[in-house]
Structure 1
């Protein structure tokens, strides 16, 4: 099978370095997003900034699958830690992803479950998880963790909300796109991987330093994905 990897980040800082790594890329604008298509190492790839939020992320994943025919999708970026053992600068490779704001419990669904779907959390591909974890170890001298990502259209910044998500979903970190991408890939039968560098503690405790941590974490994630693509066999 010919591999073509779609790489999604929500912000410029998460994809700029990867776009540069593509070299002389072909750029296609679709759904108000610029899709940069080229090669990293010897791996064909399409890199795109989806912009923040679940709808943007799902639409982006669908365009990658339907228009560009990607065989794999990787979501890269930053996240807030929900686990005291996962520190700022560490990296989480997702086992699965859940929408922590989905709530149709009054109709008998579990917290996070989308009506009409059996899945509560959308799984990440096991082989892609292994590749990403190997890329972290080859690239960054940081802690690498595997666990659930919780996503929703809310920047989590207080201890009460953090505790709710952690208790309800046993998630390792939270962000605003991963579950939408994982759901689109699950529906489309395309292997998905999510790698998130921790930029904050999701409780407002480090708000002053957030831009510094965000830039460093995003750079680490870009390096990890580049290593993934360059070492793909």
Structure 2
């Protein structure tokens, strides 16, 4: 694995809103490629050659998309951006989690392999190199200092960016007891989502750098529902664009 990479970078989001502003940013340089039900947008993005794609939800969809980016578009680095559910009571809606490590919380091939271990890889946790963590953390913090990062209508008035553990699985958590069970198995968990650790497995197998950046759309200690789609459109979409801009312009 080499970092920083000088080749094209692949940027994924599990919802179209999470990457829409990035696609627009490519302007006249953008070229599209259709494959496997995905539209891959290739062009210049903040001074870098990039391919941006809506991966769809879930581990298989994300892994398939990441593999295509690597095998057919030749990207040399991956970034996954979007929303996640908070699993740390100290975090709030609008906070940003930069993955320090990723685990597939629904992987269980026991008794053949320990719970959470990826069969035949011997890996339970996909660690993110310190240099990647710090680059993304500083990019997120620079973005959060901008006035446009705030969203008082969602209570996002003093968001912060942190490093944290991310758990991925093909499950949307809607019950506190289910989330608590995952937290009990994975101490120090910051957030849960449905794609990051699957892309981390692909990145591991292809030996390419991966950065996962998640904006929290809900928090573990809050009960009031958030208008999820409106949050994604008005907060998370701006955050994805802003953080990726900070990430690439100073790479």
**TM-score category, normalised to shorter length:** over 0.9
* Aligned twin of 1:62: 67
The correspondence of residues 97-176 of structure 1 with structure 2, limited to 5 A, is 97-107=102-112, 109-141=113-145, 142-170=159-187, 171-176=189-194
Which of 78, 94, 103 is residue 99 of structure 2 equivalent to?
94
The correspondence of residues 14-93 of structure 1 with structure 2, limited to 5 A, is 14-24=18-28, 25-93=30-98
- TM-score if structure 1 supplies the norm length? 0.93
- For the 8 Å contact 1:157–1:202, the answer to whether it is kept is no
The CA deviation at 1:208 is 4.7
Instruction: Report the more deviating stretch, 59-68 or 201-210.
Output: 201-210
Instruction: Report the more deviating stretch, 153-162 or 220-229.
Output: 220-229
- For the 8 Å contact 1:125–1:193, the answer to whether it is kept is no
The CA deviation at 1:227 is 1.8
Distance 1:178 1:202 in 2: 19
* Aligned twin of 1:217: 236
The CA deviation at 1:231 is 2.1
The CA deviation at 1:22 is 1.2
Cα deviations across residues 50-102 of structure 1 (Å, max 9, x unaligned)? 00110010011101111111111000000000001111100000011111011
SS at match of 2:227: helix
Cα deviations across residues 167-222 of structure 1 (Å, max 9, x unaligned)? 11122100000011111000100000000000012688233533333331232122
Distance 2:73 2:140 in 1: 27
* Aligned twin of 1:228: 247
- TM-score if structure 2 supplies the norm length? 0.87
Distance 1:208 1:94 in 2: 23
Instruction: Report the more deviating stretch, 113-122 or 88-97.
Output: 113-122
Distance 2:194 2:232 in 1: 14
- For the 8 Å contact 1:123–1:186, the answer to whether it is kept is no
RMSD, matched Cα:
1.6
- For the 8 Å contact 2:38–2:55, the answer to whether it is kept is yes
Gaps of 5+ in 2: 146-158
Aligned residue pair count: 231
Which of 195, 201, 206 is residue 177 of structure 1 equivalent to?
195
Distance 2:12 2:185 in 1: 27
